[in-house]
Structure 1
């Protein structure tokens, strides 16, 4: 099966600007490699500032890359024209659904705007808007409303309808349930799952919500300070995380039973500044299991079998039993 999206050794650097215009650029993403198969849902997780949204923007050509290569459906993306072409087949759902809609445009105009941008003729835009709104469970009269007249859930559904307009193969969803009530979150996730089956979509879901990726993602990729620290099938990672950062993120999930909370795996301190990246393993300043080697030698992203990889010196022994063994060394 052809890989839909392939990312190899992707680097993104940003200039500092202002008084620091002559200083070395900031490295935001470094050596990121990922594959996304047709019909697959990949969850991209990590704390704020880990580079998740920057990676999504780079995939769509909205953020210049400093190194690495990108392929979409077998075609390499190198020129601006290549990225303009991919935007017909890859859509973006923004984190703030209401703010992503122009207050001067009606819902009907917003969901059919992609046709105008890509100069695709539509016989009747009013009928097309009604068709797209019906796909996401909204009545046709919603097309006459403006963004300020929508609830959070309705605005999110409008965002999904606009993303579906050009029948994309890939949808990149940035925090698709942010700011929604729990019941509305469930409705949106069920809608996305239904559309995936109906249209054969692939999803790249960017989120902090581990409960969300556990529910919808086939595989997970974990970013820390712009580095990929663990990837693998969702079920395997939740059952047996092999990087301390992943383990701490999972342990931090709210649990009603206090006896099941894991304070010993809590992440210490704040995420370091990218201006002063720690030497060695960049997570060692916060890792509850750090050893001397972690402070001086950066680990490589290694294959640990069964479609999994982890960037940790102790990934091979990072099982539940291995964790206790490591703590007593």
Structure 2
């Protein structure tokens, strides 16, 4: 599959602040991932894992400290015009991402003006874009504060689609929406992907959303990839204890299906004081002595997956045995 987006050992360090220190916060560490044409990749992890920082770094909104960003095979350096012409971002707070001083009609057609593209009939273009996301033409005359959460989200989608991008970076696309509206937005994203061949990089902590929209999953912990692979295989048999704990934490109506033995303990460590060895060992329910002293590498574990765990292969063997027993 041809990669639309290819990140290679991407790192982001942010200044800690203050006049007397040059210390920097290592937010992302050597993150590599790719998104193919028409593919949907989900980036998951707890709050503070670096998901939004990665999205902003991809779009050039946060400077990178190391590594490279490639878009359609070409390295993205200082000139971001081509990337932003062919890639768009849906921000987490849909209403806040829309200027309160501009009408919806102006907002959804603004990308044409920003990139100096011809716009013979702005009103007709606005109507077409709004219709594409299921909104009536009258919405074009409203201001952002007059929209519901679901309407603001759809306006954000229309604005993102204005220039027919090849990639959409969606940061928490269903955040703050009612369940019924979430379903509408997800169905809309699915239909647009099928109709336009869009590639998605979806940033979320909602694993139910991941199951619905993602072909592959990339799991971040403290700004580092700890597991990556096809969605169905990762949910069926996670190779990293952190991934298993995230999946086990999903709300389940049947208490007998809850896995208390996989519960994540404690708080996320500070990026200023990263734990030695495996960075997850301070919270891992399966920690061993090796984990406390030696950092694991991201290695293949079969079925097109990778995991950063010393004992990933053993976990896979045990899960395979359990799966065989369950199906006897």
So what's the TM-score if we normalise by structure 1?
0.95
- Does residue 16 in structure 1 map to residue 16 in structure 2? yes
1:126-175 CA distances to partner (integer Å, 9 max, x unpaired)? 11000000000001111000111111100000000000001000000000
Contact kept in structure 2, 1:317 and 1:323, CA below 8 Å: no
- Does residue 91 in structure 1 map to residue 88 in structure 2? yes
1:209-240 CA distances to partner (integer Å, 9 max, x unpaired)? 00000111000000000000000000000000
State the Cα distance separating 1:116 from its structure 2 match: 1.0
Contact kept in structure 1, 2:44 and 2:205, CA below 8 Å: yes
1:254-281 CA distances to partner (integer Å, 9 max, x unpaired)? 0000000111100000100111110000
Contact kept in structure 1, 2:237 and 2:319, CA below 8 Å: no
Give the secondary structure class of the aligned counterpart of 1:88.
Answer: helix
Which residue of structure 2 aligns with residue 153 of structure 1?
150
Which residue of structure 2 aligns with residue 69 of structure 1?
68
- Does residue 224 in structure 1 map to residue 200 in structure 2? no
Q: Which runs of 5+ in 2 are unaligned?
A: 323-328
Give the secondary structure class of the aligned counterpart of 1:4.
Answer: strand
- Does residue 268 in structure 1 map to residue 253 in structure 2? no
State the Cα distance separating 1:322 from its structure 2 match: 5.7
State the Cα distance separating 1:20 from its structure 2 match: 5.0
- Does residue 124 in structure 1 map to residue 121 in structure 2? yes
Residue among 292, 298, 303 paired with 1:295: 292
Regions of 4+ moved over 6 Å: none
Which residue of structure 2 aligns with residue 34 of structure 1?
33
Query: Number of paired residues?
Result: 322
Contact kept in structure 2, 1:56 and 1:172, CA below 8 Å: yes
1:79-114 CA distances to partner (integer Å, 9 max, x unpaired)? x21x22100110000101111111100000110111
CA distance in 2, matches of 1:280, 1:20: 30
Change (3 A) 1:285 1:101: same
Change (3 A) 1:48 1:20: farther
